[in-house]
Structure 1
Amino acid sequence: MPDCEGRPNAYISLMLTGFLNEEHQAAFEAARADHRRGGSLANNCGAKTRGGAACKLPPLKGHSRCLRHAGPKAARQHREYQLKQVALGRLELAIFEAAEQRRAANRQRWLWKKLGPWESGSTISLGVHEDGFTEALRAMGYRADSLPPGIADAFRWKYRRFMVDRSQPAEWRKVVEGLDDHIRAAGESPENFIGEGHCTPSFRTPHGLSPFSRRRILNPRRSEFAPLPKAGHVNHEALPMEDPYDLNSILIRHRAELTPVLSRCETAEDRLRVAASYKRILAEPADLQARRDWMALLQELGI
């Protein structure tokens, strides 16, 4: 190469590392940093965070905001996409379950924000450390089962931080000293309060909808979670009343057997029909009508 004549060391360095010298590499890294996540030239979300700064996460495809700030509709679409990927075997079930736990915790915190800290539920389970948490509160004069669930949950996180992950009993005692202020702010317990409930919150409310969702009053046969069957389908009238989240769990647990069938499904409705029909066979293996309906569905899908 003519440009490298008289500079054999630079030519060798270019061939081995892709850079002429260290100054060339440093300039490249500095320019690349501007295009990385959070860089001045990167495509960032830009939403205002609680700290007052701009969000540096990358936006979703087709959105100007990231998954955290794109809104509930984008979050539902992302969950439906994950369900499809799991049913097709392209997403590990452990990854999906971790995402479900994050969504459940966020939903529980949202309920506490809307309904108050006396709403039953929890976002953390201390497991073998639960007895230690109970005794630590009792030593300070409090009973864990009488606290508002939202406050008890917050102090479980604090116990884990100061007494499980670390050993800072002085910090823990300092935190518990302010518990009275939290209890007074929560107000009186409701008459129907029965305790915290399960330590692991439910992944969904009935029909997968928020208790404040307007779609609760809609006809479930016309809900986007339970679409109407197409004309000519064989004995699938009960399908719209099925819980689609339970049907999706069937697809996840039996994805190995159902993958060839799901590959022929063109719509989400078809996948729900497959899950509903397969669920009947699992529940009643000797039901001849369930097997006839399953075979009719396979023929309809061209299998």
Structure 2
Amino acid sequence: MNTFVKSTLSVLGISLLASLSSCTNNEAIKPLQSNGTTPYTETAPQPTQVNNLLPTLQTYRLVKHGDWQLFYDEQGDLVKLQSTAEPNYRREYTRASNGTGMTIQLFNGYNLWRKTLILFDAKGRCKESFITNYSVVNGKTVATTRRFSYQYNAANQLIKMTNLDNAGHYLEFLYNDNNDLVVINIKKNGKWEAMTYGYKPAGEALIKDYTRLNPIWMTLHEEIDPFLPIYGKFNKNLVRLFHYDDKTAGKSLEKVSYNYSFNRMGLVTSQEEIRFTAGQTLTQTINFGYQFN
């Protein structure tokens, strides 16, 4: 292991807990039907109509995502996420001066909760990660590290993640003809879970995605940071429907539908998430803010 790896794995902290939004709707979301290779054809909330003025013609940065404020350096690289809901929570991003990788550190006040070391391949993509979570047991800080490798295809799409400490734990990523991620198969020691994505509800058109975010469900955010463009390209269109299923147990874990509002350039200004989980329907709205140059 090189000096960069050794030095970044030596810091202590503890693991972040996520919170759910309030329950506002008691109507369950309909189950999705998919063969794992094609988009869904199920009704979802209609998006607000927008004018397609091609925001790629103007330089912009995402500076607000829900409760997170995003900060960048002079090169345009993300350097910090600051929570406005929990002022002690922040996430710091530091790139190695030699361009070989970066670290992500999650803090609560002065306490480091999680530290992730990422090594880059020749194209600047994540090829390996070392994810260290910290907990306090009997008054002592205990560090637990997981290591993953990342494989890509010729289209710059992530196709496989492998736990380097457990060959029986890996994730497979499948895409459709529109180059949109449609299935993540999660295999772990003989068990199988699947995350399935839909982009085109019945009778509706695809909606171009200009957000530049990774549409990865929260349970994988430690392995794939949603704000970093270092994992290849997951999608060209906005996700409208999502299912997370325990295939081994034959049980649904999450059912989610999304609706969006846009500005006149076609950029998302808000995302409504309607989530059916654990017998409850939860609704939350995430607002987006941009800085234009």
Shorter-normalised TM range: under 0.3
Larger strand share, 1 or 2: 2
Larger relative contact order (C-alpha < 8 A, sep ≥ 6)? 2
Give me the TM-score of the superposition, normalised by structure 2: 0.20
The structure where helix makes up a greater share of residues is: 1
